[in-house]
Amino acid sequence: MMSNRIIFKTQNLPIHQNVVYPTAEEAITCPRGDLSLIQDDNTGLIHNVAFDQAAMEYNEHYQNEQAFSLVFQQHLHQVVSILTRIFNQKNIIEIGCGKGWFLELLRSHGFNAKGVDPAYEGDNDYVIKDYFSSALNLNADALILRHTLEHVQKPHEFLADIAEANNHSGLIYIEVPCFNWILEHNAWFDIYYEHVNYFRLSDFENIFGKIVEMGHVFGGQYIYIIGDLASLKKPKQNDFDILEIPKGFMSGVVEAQKIFNDNKNKKNIVWGGASKGVIFCHYLFQRGFKPDMIIDLNPEKQNKYIPATGIKIKSPEIAYKEMKEGDNIFVMNSNYYEEIRSATNDKYNYTLVDKL
């Protein structure tokens, strides 16, 4: 049996990537934590052993809504089409519904959907502003768990609590980032403190005895499974499934530095003020490089500052006034490349960070 060896380690990360701050000073002095990824001896699951759940707080200041992008909206519609095809029943609970955009989309497609999330800001009576637990006395024909399980310190226990709360019946749709995609693309900017867990499809095959469907979405960056809650089991380690971080995993940081060095008379702009952009700026800032600004479509983030580096987030309209043709735009997610290039009339130099 292998030991709980550390497979990736870094320090001083902001504990929240999607909390924005009213001043640069508050952003720079944000709470921080260390990250030590291991593959568990007994389950094969990958998680950060340095993670402190007590430090995490998800409230109205947490801004992670991506649906301002038409590209991301297309992804959400694809998910709805999967759910419509698989879930014949219409009684659904979305655990971790965020600000409620996807929940409203479900309801617009005829689902009787309720949501649970402490960061919810609306006043609809079908959303409970709290963390999910059996004490809420909720159950449904099917449950949705999109981009929530990676935030939970003990994912299998959390799934077991969900199963118990739902009388060990029904189906659950789970969507999380794909760790294999992160490794294959040297996506160092996709590993951060807020995600305590990192999953592969094979992990879910060890967690559920029965998976109705599974696959990749959002250009392969996300994986999804639809599992039968009655078949939930404790995962066991597969001796042939030992994970290694590839050599050159952090090489993109050096490549980004070269672009900064070779273009000293140009502005360097990061498009995307969410997790990828925050971590990208964090590593560059550690090496003495600071992007000039962040562009983000989310109005709740605009005119505020990202954690760790204190770089200001601007709307596209404001940013364009300060940019000149030929400036550098670092596109944090290649899924948005065509959308960004079209919106900016192809006037700038574009670097796809996940292609570095």
Q: Region 229-247: what's the mean pLDDT?
A: 82
Specify the pLDDT at position 69: 75
Specify the pLDDT at position 335: 92
CATH 3.40.50.150 is the classification of domain 1-249: yes
Specify the pLDDT at position 56: 86
pLDDT band at 252 (very low <50, low <70, confident <90, very high): very high
Please report which helix (H) or strand (E) contains residue 1, including its range.
Answer: none
- Tens of pLDDT, residue by residue over 62-110, are 655 555 678 888 999 999 999 999 997 678 999 989 888 899 999 999 9
Q: Flag whether pLDDT at 20 surpasses 70.
A: yes
Across the chain, what does the average pLDDT equal? 91
Q: Region 124-152: what's the mean pLDDT?
A: 89
Specify the pLDDT at position 283: 96
How far apart are the C-alpha atoms of 52 and 118, rounded to whole Å?
18
Q: Region 145-163: what's the mean pLDDT?
A: 93
Q: Region 102-126: what's the mean pLDDT?
A: 90
Look at 239-253, 293-307, 337-351 and tell me which has the smallest mean pLDDT: 239-253
Specify the pLDDT at position 317: 95
CB atoms within 10 A of CB 175: 22
User: 251-355: what CATH class?
Assistant: alpha beta
Specify the pLDDT at position 33: 96
Share of the chain above pLDDT 70, in %: 95
Full 3-state SS string of 140-208 = CCEEEEECCHHHCCCHHHHHHHHHHHCCCCCEEEEEEEEHHHHHHCCCHHHCCCCCCEEECHHHHHHHE
Q: Residue 69: name the closest of 337, 349, 278, 354 by CA.
A: 337
How far apart are the C-alpha atoms of 88 and 78, rounded to whole Å?
17
Q: Flag whether pLDDT at 240 surpasses 80.
A: no
Same fold, 1-249 and 251-355: yes
> pLDDT: is 60 or 46 the higher one?
46
Write the single-letter amino acid at 304.
K
The long-range contacts involving 131-136, CB below 8 angstroms and separated by at least 24 positions, are 132/95, 132/96, 132/162, 132/165, 133/161, 133/165, 134/161, 134/164, 134/165, 136/165
Residue 130 φ then ψ, to 5°: -165, 170
What residues are paired with 19 via a beta bridge? 62
- Tens of pLDDT, residue by residue over 300-340, are 899 999 999 999 999 999 999 999 999 999 999 999 999 99
What is the sign, positive or negative, of the torsion defined by CA atoms of 197, 198, 203, 209? Answer: positive
Share of the chain above pLDDT 90, in %: 73
How far apart are the C-alpha atoms of 4 and 240, rounded to whole Å?
15
Domain boundaries in the chain? 1-249, 251-355
Q: Region 242-268: what's the mean pLDDT?
A: 91
Stated pTM of the model: 0.90
Specify the pLDDT at position 1: 44
Q: Flag whether pLDDT at 254 surpasses 70.
A: yes
pLDDT band at 264 (very low <50, low <70, confident <90, very high): confident
- Tens of pLDDT, residue by residue over 267-304, are 999 999 989 999 999 999 999 999 999 999 999 899 99
Write the single-letter amino acid at 294.
I
Specify the pLDDT at position 58: 66
